[in-house]
Amino acid sequence: MIFAKKSCSHDEVEEYGASEAGKACDGDQATKCLEEGYVKLPKCLKDMLDNILPKCDDSEKLQTIGFIHSGLQFYVIWAYHPTKYITRIQKSRNYHISSGISQFGTAVLPTFCIAWVIEDIVRITYNIVQESNMHDNTSSMQGSEWLTQY
């Protein structure tokens, strides 16, 4: 799954995050978990970040977010640029939702909080890109303002 914005009549797609899912947890050292969590998704997030980077002036605030779901547990990976030529990939701790009703409330609250934080990060990144696009559109309009006079 990819979190993206596609505009009508444009070939370009703005991607802000991705997710990989598996039906069951085979452990932290399972091949699928290692391949998707440490190779595939971080590379995808870096490519997404590099794709939206030329559209913005403020590259230090841009982030892309990824989820790895496996059974009742998940963790979050995010990518950002602390400096111009470096991409930092960070991984959160594992979050686990209990299958028993007794621990369900204490396990669900942190997952709701992390989902809210991730939504906020994606919204901030989206707004930065959109503001930069609006700024570019208004600056190009000023150069062609003379066309409206005729």
Could you tell me the residue range of the domain that residue 131 belongs to? 2-139
Over residues 77-89, mean pLDDT: 89
- Domain-located, residue 145: no
Residue 77 in domain: yes
Q: Is residue 146 part of a domain?
A: no
Contact 107, 86 (CB under 8 A): no
Q: How many domains does the chain have?
A: 1
Q: For 30-54, how does the pLDDT look when each residue is reduced to its tens digit (9 = 90+)?
A: 666 667 777 889 999 999 999 888 8
- Exposure of 52 by Cβ count < 10 A (0-12 exposed, 13-18 middle, 19+ buried)? buried
Has residue 17 been placed in a domain? yes
> How many angstroms separate the CA atoms of 73 and 67, rounded?
10
> Is the pLDDT confidence value at 112 over 80?
yes
pTM of the model: 0.77
